[in-house]
A = this chain, B = another copy of it.
Amino acid sequence: MSPARMSRETLLPAMAAHVLENGIAGVSLRPLAKAAGTSDRMLIYHFGNRQGVVDALLEYLAKLYETGLDAALPAEPARDRRETVRRILERTASPALTPFMRLWWEVVAASAAGDETFRESAASTMGLLLGWLEAHMPEGDPDPRGGARLLLTLIEGSQMLGAVGRADIAEAALAAFEG
């Protein structure tokens, strides 16, 4: 049996699935290659070095997240700001998106540690989310621009609290927000 020819494009989906389950910051080539049905040797061949693999994965995962987000987020605007936050928190908690959350905090941690690749990825993800929020603020909101930024900050704070097992704090915060 001749070995199946593979390219970056055929390898990325399987590798993405692997890092969504096992993390990306400390991923090592041999398990990653095995998950994609190839060898570390070939990952180096296709991506140059480990950094090239991680870069490609970050880019691929960002696109994957974006399309998943588009599909999950509600199209019609909510009644008010609090409802907007609530809907997004519900939707991003869907099974299709939760694996991305684990990855997200790895990206944030690497950004905080000074990794430029991760920081750029993180900043652009925040830009993406902010753009969506600005376009979907409640009708008649007095300050959609500032409001979207406020909601994004609240959403991310809530998600962090959820990640450390203190979703109760985020829930109470939301209850106290504008009411």
Contacts and interface: CB of A to CB of B under 8 A. Distances in A.
Interface string A149-179: 1101111111011011110011011111100
Given A101-B112, A102-B113, A153 B163 contact: no
B164 A157 contact: no
Sorting the interface of chain A by its residue count into under 10, 10 to 19, 20 to 34 or 35 or more gives 35 or more
Contacts of A127: 166
A95 interface: no
A14 to B, nearest CB: 20
A117 interface: no
Contacts of A107: 164
Contact of A109 (B109, B119, B157): B109
Contacts of A152: 157, 161, 169, 173
Interface string A1-43: 0000000000000000000000101100000000000000000
Contacts of A175: 146
Contact of A153 (B105, B143, B157): B157
A61 interface: no
Contact of A161 (B109, B113, B145, B156): B156
A45 to B, nearest CB: 27
Given A152-B157, A161-B156, A164-B123, A109 B106 contact: yes
